[in-house]
Amino acid sequence: MQGTLAVAAAATLSGAGCSRKREGSDVAAEATSSPKLGWAIVGLGKFTTEQLLPAFAQCQRSRLAAFVTGSAEKGTRLAGRYGVDEKSVYSYQTFDKIAQDRNVDVVYVVLPNSMHAEYTQRAFRAGKHVMCEKPMAINEAECSAMIAAGKAAGKRLMIAYRAQFESHNRAAIELVRAGELGRIKLVIADHCRTIDPKDPADQWRVRRALSGGGSLVDIGIYSLQAARYIFGEEPTEVSAQLASTPSDPRFTEVEESALFSLRFPSGGLANCSSSYGTTNVKRYRVIGEKGYAELDPATAYEGNTLRVAKGGAAEARAVPATNQFTAEIDHLSECIQLGKEPRTPGEEGLRDVRIMQAIYASAREGKSVKLT
Ligand code: NAD
């Protein structure tokens, strides 16, 4: 297995999918080096430390190679823990030196949303491939600039839509595509939680300049994604309402709750919600002519469930649990190694940002907005 990967990696890294020119000595080095691509993680916050770093232990094609952090102490401590060379701990100021770090193939941007565009473009300028967290950026212009930078560099750009690599969501997509539920008419999706001003990870989320929006862009995006990947087509019209509890200091800059509906060309409708002021909800239902499927939770880090009802009561569907982060990270490495386009490229992130801008416009203008 390892040998096959090494050959595939060496062959494709010099192929059309990856434009960095390889000198003869580079190719020799690659043939003898590990088949796993080296990943630099930018931003050692809550999501990185609690979910992403541990997930690398199970990766087959990816390994931790560098950290980029505002805290040298944290970078050094985590480097020791995860076997990263201390020389490969960068600050935001020294980040561009990563261009010379031959251990790093991919940069994973896990920063507040408004910083995604800058670090993605700097990573491409450094000659690296990029995984960028959701939402891709805070407006369409930034997304387009990120996509253009990737194309100019000849490098891959993937948006980290982990649910598209999660086994219960994959099973739901497959049973819908196989026609098990008949033609799908409705998707109902809800993603809600309570935002906590004491948690540093929640502080930037309520500052519009850093987040670009409230519950919609942070977790409503999972409802939007579910509607799009279940229907397998693009919405043509959105209509939305936003609300915040009056005088709640958490919601002076961003919305607390969002309700939005999407119209799909095949005659389907999605009814989606997000909130920053309720108990945890991460679920969706898919309702078809012959049955329905229910995922609750649908987008948790683990413990997701799938129930399917056809005729009578809903029955649990046994789906093997896999590590969605490992699958997602290895997917990009595989695409780089084999010269394939990722399942969730920059264009996928741009589509969501465009639809979310239309959702905000609909709420602002009090009317539905057509998407072209
Ligand atoms: P976090 O606040 O825990 O981490 C953000 C990191 O950015 C921290 O290390 C912080 O020090 C650093 N940072 C650098 N400059 C900063 C600045 N000016 N202000 C604030 N922080 C700054 O947040 P998080 O929850 O880890 O989220 C980071 C990104 O990951 C976001 O884009 C978020 O949407 C995404 N995320 C994705 C998932 C998922 O399931 N895919 C889950 C959580 C977060």
The secondary structure of the chain, three-state, reads CHHHHHHHHHHHHCCCCCCCCCCHHHHHHHHHCCCCEEEEEECCCHHHHHHHHHHHHHCCCEEEEEEECCCHHHHHHHHHHHCCCHHHEECCCCHHHHHHCCCCCEEEECCCHHHHHHHHHHHHHCCCEEEECCCCCCCHHHHHHHHHHHHHHCCCEEECCHHHHCHHHHHHHHHHHCCCCCCEEEEEEEEEEECCCCCHHHHHHHCHHHHCCCHHHHHHHHHHHHHHHHHCCCCCEEEEEEECCCCCHHHCCCCCEEEEEEECCCCCEEEEEEECEEEEEEEEEEEECCCEEEECCCCCCCCCCCEEECCCCCEECCCCCCCHHHHHHHHHHHHHHHCCCCCCEHHHHHHHHHHHHHHHHHHHHCCCEECC
For residue 351, what pLDDT band results from cuts at 50, 70 and 90?
very high
Mutate to test the pocket of ligand 1, among 53, 107, 133, 210 (most ligand atoms within 8 A of CB): 133
C-alpha 168 – ligand 1 centre gap (Å): 26
pLDDT score at 129: 98
Q: How far is the CA of 311 from the centre of ligand 1 (A)?
A: 44
- pLDDT of 35 reads 87
The pLDDT-based confidence of 348 (bands split at 50, 70, 90) is: very high
Give the per-residue pLDDT at 4: 31
Residue among 119, 222, 229, 360 flagged as catalytic? 222
Q: Pairing relation of β-strands 237-243 and 257-263? A: antiparallel
- 23 has pLDDT over 60: no
Q: Which of 193, 204, 331 to mutate to test the pocket of ligand 1 (most atoms within 8 A of CB)?
A: 204
Tell me the average pLDDT across 168-175.
98
**Residues 105-155: pLDDT tens digits?**
999 999 999 999 999 999 999 999 999 999 999 999 999 999 999 999 999
- pLDDT tier for residue 18 given thresholds of 50, 70 and 90: very low
Judged against a pLDDT cut of 90, whether residue 17 lies above it is answered with no
Query: Quick check: 26 pLDDT over 60?
Result: no
For 208-267, what is each residue's pLDDT tens digit? 999 999 999 999 999 999 999 999 999 999 999 999 999 999 999 999 999 999 999 999
Q: How far is the CA of 367 from the centre of ligand 1 (A)?
A: 33
> What confidence tens digit (pLDDT) does each residue in 34-84 have?
589 999 999 999 999 999 999 999 999 999 999 999 999 999 999 999 999
Give the mean pLDDT of 173-195.
Answer: 98
- pLDDT value for 34: 54
Compare 16 and 311 and report the one with higher pLDDT. Answer: 311
Q: Provide the pLDDT confidence category of residue 20 given band limits of 50, 70 and 90.
A: very low
- pLDDT for residue 14 is more than 70: no
**The pLDDT of residue 10 is above 60:** no
110 Cα: distance to centroid of ligand 1 (angstroms): 5
**The CA-based dihedral angle spanning residues 104, 79, 32, 24, taken in that order and rounded to the nearest 10 degrees:** 30
Give the mutation target among 48, 111, 136, 352 for probing the ligand 1 site: most ligand atoms within 8 A of CB: 111
pLDDT at residue 46, as a whole number? 97
What interhelical angle do 116-125 and 140-153 show, nearest 10?
A: 10
Q: Residue 267: its pLDDT value, please?
A: 97
Banded pLDDT at 190 (limits 50, 70, 90): very high
Q: Whose CA is nearest to atom 8 of ligand 1?
A: 45
Q: Which atom of ligand 1 is nearest to the CA of 47?
A: 26
pTM: 0.92
Q: How confident is the model at residue 313 (pLDDT cuts 50, 70, 90)?
A: confident
For the residues 344-366, what does the mean pLDDT come to?
98
Q: What is the pLDDT of residue 2?
A: 30
Distance 115 CA to ligand 1 centre (A): 10
Paired sense of beta strands 37-42 and 106-109, if any: parallel
Catalytic residue status for 134 = yes
d(CA 116, ligand 1 centre) in Å = 10
The token pair at 45 is 């916050």
pLDDT of residue 311: 84
Is residue 11 very low, low, confident or very high in pLDDT (cuts 50, 70, 90)? very low
> Which residues form the pocket of ligand 1, taking CB atoms under 6 Å from any ligand atom?
43-48, 70, 110-113, 133-134, 160, 162, 200-201, 204, 210, 218
- Whether 151 is a known active-site residue: answer no
Which domains are present in the chain?
A: 3-160+326-345 (3.40.50.720), 165-319 (3.30.360.10)
% pLDDT > 70, the chain: 91
Active-site residue (options: 36, 128, 134, 282): 134
